[in-house]
C-alpha cells in the first residue's frame, strides 16, 4: 500500500468533499512542497468530515484537535497546500498504527509524535508555539534539501 492508493481531497474539504458513514477510515494529512505530498499526521475515524472540522476548530481542550489544527493553520500561513489522503478501512486503528510506523521508519516527522499537553495546566500560547516550531523544523529541513523522506 502507498499513499497513491488513497483517495485525495484538498483541505479544507467542501461540505460534500469527504465521505462520512458507518465504516471507518484511515487518513493521512500532507503538506505540499513543490508538488510532493509530505505526510505530517496520520489518523483514523468513523466520521471523516467531522474530524476535519474538529481540526478547523482546533479546540485547546482537545489536545489532538488543537495540535493538528494548529499545524494545519501554521503550514497554510506559510502558503503550503494541505491535502487529505483517505481510505475506508475494516480496521482503522490497526491500519493507522501500520502507517505511522512505516512513515516513522522512513524518517517522516509526524505531529502524532509530539508529546501531549494537559489543557488544565499548560499554556495555550506555549503549546501553539511548540506546534509551530515542530512544523518549521520539518519544513525547513525539507526546503534545504537536508531531509526529503522516501516512502
Q: Is the pLDDT of residue 102 over 60?
A: yes
The tally of CA atoms less than 13 A away on the side-chain side of residue 47 is: 5
Question: Residues 10-56: pLDDT tens digits?
Answer: 999 877 778 877 789 999 999 998 888 999 999 999 999 999 999 99
Residue 87 parent element (H or E): strand 81-89
Has residue 2 got a pLDDT over 90? no
* pLDDT value at residue 35: 85
Report pTM.
Answer: 0.92
Q: Is it true that domain 3-136 has CATH number 3.40.1440?
A: yes
C-beta separation of 85 from 3 below 8 A: yes
**Residue ranges per domain, the chain?**
3-136
Measured CA angle at 33 (ends 16, 101), to 5 deg:
80
Amino acid at each position: 500500500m502507498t499513499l497513491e492508493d488513497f483517495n485525495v481531497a484538498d483541505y479544507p474539504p467542501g461540505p460534500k468533499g469527504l465521505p462520512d458513514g458507518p465504516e471507518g477510515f484511515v487518513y493521512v494529512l500532507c503538506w505540499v512542497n513543490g508538488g510532493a505530498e509530505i505526510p505530517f499526521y496520520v489518523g483514523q475515524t468513523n466520521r471523516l468530515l467531522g474530524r476535519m472540522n474538529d481540526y478547523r476548530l482546533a479546540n485547546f481542550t482537545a489536545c489532538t484537535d488543537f495540535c493538528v489544527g494548529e499545524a494545519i493553520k501554521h503550514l497554510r500561513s506559510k502558503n503550503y497546500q494541505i491535502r487529505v489522503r483517505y481510505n475506508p478501512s475494516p480496521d482503522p486503528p490497526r491500519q493507522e498504527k501500520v502507517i505511522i510506523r512505516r512513515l516513522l521508519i522512513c524518517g517522516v516527522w509526524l505531529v502524532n509524535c509530539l508529546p501531549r499537553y494537559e489543557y488544565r495546566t499548560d499554556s495555550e500560547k506555549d503549546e501553539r508555539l511548540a506546534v509551530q516550531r515542530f512544523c518549521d523544523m520539518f519544513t525547513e529541513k525539507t526546503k534545504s534539501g537536508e531531509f526529503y523522506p522516501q516512502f
